[in-house]
Amino acid sequence: MRVLVTGGAGFIGSHLTDYLVSEKHEVVILDNFTRGHREYLAKSLSDVTVIDGDIRDRDALSQVMKGIDVVFHLAAQSNVVGAVKDIEYSFSTNVVGTFEVLRAARNAGVRRLVFSSSREVYGEAVKLPVGEKAPLNAKNAYGASKIAGELYCPIFRSEAFEVNVLRFANVYGPRDRGRVIPIFLDNAAAGTPFKIFGGGQLIDFVWIETVVATLCRAAFGPVLPGPVNVGSGKGTSLQKLAEEVIRITGTSSRIEIAPARSYETERFVADIAEGERLLSFTPPDDPLFGLSRMLTASIKA
């Protein structure tokens, strides 16, 4: 198929692109390179079409959508801290940009779009694990923008234009940056303290390859009845994460507990029963099994 990946030069997008190319799909990438990097595409660059453009640019979208069968919509301000610091960019990219992508895809006759949402739409959960029917109660600008994006999906959906929505937990893997696992690995390499804000966080970490496989099932498999969680279904405390990073790296870094940040969700574990049933994904037993691969990748970098 001819596939468009918005944000295809980013962390998740570049891994997805590598897989799609390996499966012989024709891949087009639209990325403004705010968080993406061309070097992330080193493995596939000669086999893809890369367009330096913005999802808020209506003319660019109308051109890039021509002849596209499936859209993976990943382009976003995808960092909670970044969204808090620049709420206007978060809104214009995640809300206006998503509207424009949906509009352009429908008008171009795209068959299906997969929208990448986030566990941040739930905010602070009343109980764990969190199922898809839990109330949406975002705690920060990033979560609010993803709720808005999700709400536009059924507005554009039709018999001719299918839209599937996936809600990702904390995705990790090589090429990630600015989130807790790559930050801890950088701290370990430098011997600087691991700072944990609040100390009570419980996070659902999901490996990048699980996410890529699930994205493809959502694109090429059945139409989903509603948003579906994608996670490990298990919670990991940041204290345990820090201790594991210290163990595998042998760093002299210590752990420091800092005051909690009001905009961060402290506890989340995804209920993944719907994903297992509808998309047949089975995450590894140990959510942190990929830490050693992250370490190897950071050493190579």
- Residue of 40, 122, 142, 172 with catalytic role: 142
Any catalytic annotation for residue 142?
Answer: yes
CB-facing half-sphere around the CA of 252: CA atoms within 13 A: 2
Q: What is the dihedral of CA 256, 260, 264, 268, to 10 degrees?
A: 70
> Read out DSSP for 233-301?
S--EEHHHHHHHHHHHH-----EEEEPPPTTS--B--B--HHHHHHH-----SSTTTTHHHHHHHHHH-
Residues 230-245 as b or e (16 or more Cβ within 10 Å = b): bbbbbbbebbebbebb
10 Å Cβ neighbour count for 175? 20
Catalytic residue set: 142
